[in-house]
Amino acid sequence: MTTDSSGNGPGNGKDNDILLTMRGLRIEGQADEEWQEIVHGIDLDLRRGEVLGLIGESGAGKSTIGLAAMGYARPGCRISGGEILFNGIDLMAASEEEKRQLRGVRISYVAQSAAASFNPAHKLIDQFSETPVQHGVKPRSEAESDAKVLFRKLQLPYPDTIGNRYPHQVSGGQLQRAMTAMAMACHPDLIVFDEPTTALDVTTQIEVLAAIKDVVREFNTAAIYITHDLAVVAQMADRIMVLRWGDLIEEGTARDLLANPQDPYTRDLLAVRTFAKDHNGDEKAKTPLLAVEGVTASYGNSVRVLHDVSVSIHHSRTVAVVGESGSGKSTLARAITGLLPPEAGRVLYEGEPLPNALEGRDKEQLRRIQMIYQMPDTALNPRQRIREIIGRPLSFYFGLTGAEKENRIKELLTKIELDPDDFIDRFPGELSGGQKQRICIARALAAEPDLIICDEVTSALDQLVAEEILKLLQSLQDDVGVSYLFITHDLATVRAIADEIIVMLQGKVVEQGPKDEVLHPPHHEYTELLLSSVPEMDPDWLDGVLEKRRAANQ
């Protein structure tokens, strides 16, 4: 295997094929002034040009291990033991200055959120050129022409001039590709990709995945690809390591591991997307519970976000709204709740028009529509106990007090499968992400609503946890007959929970109907794009889709 930088390595004579070795890697994190081990002795080998996938849920230690490959520990973490050899250089023994000289040149990093990881104060080209110029690898002019070549290879629009833009002037998917270009600026031996597509829409994700795969292949760069999404890693990696709580669960070539998982945890991860609801609620017959008729809405006077949107939701049914970011999904929720009064159109509740603005609605109207948000962290007041959080709607809507209120809170906690006596006096900070989201659900249920609007409620959660939340929502629906308007960009979630699907694009509804109709051909062109962009476990899926699309374009 040849690379344009082989021969520099001091490892000549030894096994020249191995680029990175970790032995018994231990990393500690600081919590409450105490060091706790978060990675417990990981062994890892990476050959030149090989792509290794690290997969696991949050807290598995994936990013921490990825960064350790650069000899870097985040503030509040430290590498406490083991051995890291990169290209024959002992990173544990190397001085800060030696490591600094490796970073950016021989090993580089692509972060999860390009929008946050590009400095907002400087143009893309300046940030691209910075690494080669500061490390003295090549002069500025050469770096700039390199940038144009890489931008073109990564299929960025206007590759010759896009570098002159500031990060905020470029879309998320483009920024992620620009960051990959930046990581390639010095043609490193190894790139650490830390969830590079997690923040992107599926239709953008597929482009970025294809671009990354191409460049990594072309330059024969080794990569560590970190993700929580097995289907994504299946497309990218030659080999996969499954991690959980800082331990290695299972390791193998991508194909073997996917075809024949050994560990129950890996099987769980693979099985995640199998949940599907079996009942369909009431058939469409009577007046819908909620009908949105021809709603048009905009922020300020400038940007129109919803164009003539009509939607109806029946009793005990789940209507999923899907679309990319910016398609107006959340704005639809804001229009229904009255947070953003529509300019035109109306919202009917059981046939009766609701006042457009929140201020015009009475308590009873407010009670019947509740919301659950994407980020349970920010939706819960960190200084209130669970008792207060769930108790508030009880006293506000029903005037409950004392023992009556207490009993009802406990009843609700039981419903969301949390032990009432254990949880009632906790603060949100003492709960896990999934538990917090359960509290949000309980708070919405406390109002005994007919409709709950769920705005991306599972997208901040790990897959297994998200699955549990979906099951909970479904059993609550079976139990109390509540309807859901389920806003999501994740089609797997939609498949699992929806009765009806609404596909939105640029503020318009492009397709709507029962789940089976929408998910089966013939589709609207955009629905087709959306559906075909969802990664599948098959390692050949990405190449197959790209092949098909290329063929279709010709």
Q: What is the gyration radius of the CA atoms in the chain, in angstroms?
A: 26
For residues 81 and 27, what is the distance between their CA atoms, to the nearest angstrom? Answer: 7
Token pair 């390639």 in the structure block, residue:
184
Three-class DSSP category at 536:
coil
Q: Which two tokens stand for residue 383?
A: 């200084």
Query: On the CB side of 67, how many CA atoms lie within 13 Å of its CA?
Result: 17
Nearer to another protein (CB atom), residue 70 or residue 409: 70
**Distance in Å, CB of 177 to another protein, minimum:** 15
Contact (CB, 8 A) for 492 and 273: yes
SS3 sequence of 233-247 = HHHHCCEEEEEECCE
**Distance in Å, CB of 390 to another protein, minimum:** 33
**Distance in Å, CB of 282 to another protein, minimum:** 45
Contact (CB, 8 A) for 112 and 195: yes
Nearer to another protein (CB atom), residue 51 or residue 183: 183
Nearer to another protein (CB atom), residue 192 or residue 230: 192
Three-class DSSP category at 280:
coil
Nearer to another protein (CB atom), residue 125 or residue 394: 125
Q: Which two tokens stand for residue 453?
A: 């609007």
Nearer to another protein (CB atom), residue 161 or residue 169: 169
**Distance in Å, CB of 111 to another protein, minimum:** 6
Q: Which two tokens stand for residue 333?
A: 């929720």
Nearer to another protein (CB atom), residue 40 or residue 100: 100
Contact (CB, 8 A) for 231 and 537: yes
Nearer to another protein (CB atom), residue 72 or residue 349: 72
**Distance in Å, CB of 512 to another protein, minimum:** 31
Q: For the sheet with 344-349, list strands across it.
A: 303-313, 290-299, 344-349, 352-354
- Strand pairing of 190-194 and 107-110? parallel
Nearer to another protein (CB atom), residue 111 or residue 240: 111
Nearer to another protein (CB atom), residue 98 or residue 517: 98
* Residue type present at position 491: L
**Distance in Å, CB of 6 to another protein, minimum:** 21
**Distance in Å, CB of 131 to another protein, minimum:** 5
**Distance in Å, CB of 178 to another protein, minimum:** 12
Nearer to another protein (CB atom), residue 118 or residue 349: 118
For residues 497 and 422, what is the distance between their CA atoms, to the nearest angstrom? Answer: 30
**Distance in Å, CB of 103 to another protein, minimum:** 3
**Distance in Å, CB of 141 to another protein, minimum:** 20
Which long-range CB contacts under 8 A does 269-277 form with residues at least 24 apart? 269/55, 269/230, 269/242, 269/463, 269/464, 270/230, 270/537, 272/463, 272/464, 272/467, 273/492, 273/495, 273/496, 275/467, 275/470, 275/471, 275/496, 276/495, 276/496, 277/318, 277/474, 277/496, 277/497, 277/499
Residues in contact with another protein by CB under 8 A are 67, 70, 72, 74-75, 99-105, 108-109, 111, 113, 116-122, 130-131, 134-135, 166, 168-169, 182
**Distance in Å, CB of 3 to another protein, minimum:** 19
Nearer to another protein (CB atom), residue 74 or residue 217: 74
Convert 381-402 to b/e letters by CB count within 10 Å (16 or more is b).
eeeebbbebbbebbeebeebee
For residues 393 and 483, what is the distance between their CA atoms, to the nearest angstrom? Answer: 19
Q: Which two tokens stand for residue 345?
A: 């159109």
